[in-house]
Amino acid sequence: MTLLELVNEAAIDIGLPATTSVMASTDPQIKLLRRCATAEAKSLSSRHNWQALLTEQTFVTLAAAQQTTYAIPTDFDRMIPESMFNRTINRSISGPVDSNMWQSIQSTLVTTVYPAFRFRENFIDITPTPSAGQTVAYEYITRNWGFNTIYLSAWSADTDTYRLNDESMIQGIVWRFKKSKGLSWNDDYLVYERYVGDLIIRDGSRPRIYTDQPNWNLKPVPPWTPDTLVFS
């Protein structure tokens, strides 16, 4: 649904007349509905690692600790922990580590066996220093929760669409509007919370849960065992 459609659906629940424009409207009620739509989009997108906002990124390493030829994407919101891997040498890169751990690694006389990374100055630091030309991949959540020919992190037109669930947006606008106006909003909020909770449970695929999670890097196991094993 478009921003205009979402706001008009929320207006029905609130008891307001429909509008022909959201972005160009000077009506204080419509402007508040738009503000509630923005607050809802930012809040819900940060609440869960939604598969709709999951993004894969790759870069090629420099032979340097700080990967200055690769800047963190402008739409970067948050990293998916433990998702960074060096595809060239088939090895995970732990992190992000905090400043204390990073400085501890730098001060030791022993070179760590497994690489680690952190974010600094909108770049990625990797230790030990990787070789040049290696491909590294990781996943992150984008802050771009809207779309209108390009991905957006703010409403720009009445025709913008929402990348997450439309009904959650409508319910979110309703309880936020009522709260801002000093109206009774608790029941609407409880309905919204139950609905969003169900969305989170159903979002994306779920891995099998093990009481003792196996390490798939130790050895191939069915059904991941290939016909031929090549060790290098």
Give residue-wise pLDDT tens across range 14-59.
999 999 999 999 999 999 999 999 999 999 999 999 999 999 999 9
Read off the DSSP letter of residue 73: P
With a CB cutoff of 8 Å and minimum separation 6, the contacts of 109 are none
Query: Is 68 a member of any domain?
Result: yes
Query: Is 42 a member of any domain?
Result: no
Reported as type and span, the H/E element at residue 198 is: helix 186-202
Positions in the chain short of pLDDT 70: 206-232
Q: What are the distances in angstroms from CA 8 to CA 34, 77, 126, 200, 217?
A: 11, 29, 49, 25, 52
Residue 228: predicted pLDDT: 55
Query: Contact at 8 Å (CB) between 145 and 45?
Result: yes
Helix (H, G, I), strand (E, B) or coil at 111: coil
Widest pairwise Cα distance in the chain:
70
pTM confidence score: 0.84
Q: Are residues 176 and 100 in the same domain?
A: no
Tokens representing residue 34 in the block? 């738009």
Task: Supply the DSSP string of 6-72, one letter for each residue.
Answer: HHHHHHHHHTPPP-S-STT---HHHHHHHHHHHHHHHHHHTTS--GGGEEEEEEE--SSSEEEEEEP
Query: Is 194 a member of any domain?
Result: yes
Provide the number of structural domains found in the chain.
Answer: 2
- Residue 213 phi/psi, 5-degree rounding, is -60, 120
Query: Is 176 a member of any domain?
Result: yes
Q: Are residues 130 and 184 in the same domain?
A: no
Q: Is 227 exposed, middle or buried (0-12, 13-18, 19+ CB in 10 A)?
A: exposed
Q: Are residues 130 and 180 in the same domain?
A: no
Alpha carbon 45 to chain centroid distance? 7
Q: What are the distances in angstroms from CA 154 to CA 1, 55, 145, 191, 198?
A: 16, 18, 8, 26, 26
Query: Is 118 a member of any domain?
Result: yes
Query: Is 86 a member of any domain?
Result: yes
Residue 105: predicted pLDDT: 86
Q: What are the distances in angstroms from CA 128 to CA 69, 71, 113, 181?
A: 18, 19, 8, 56
Query: Contact at 8 Å (CB) between 96 and 83?
Result: no
Parent domain of 196: 170-202
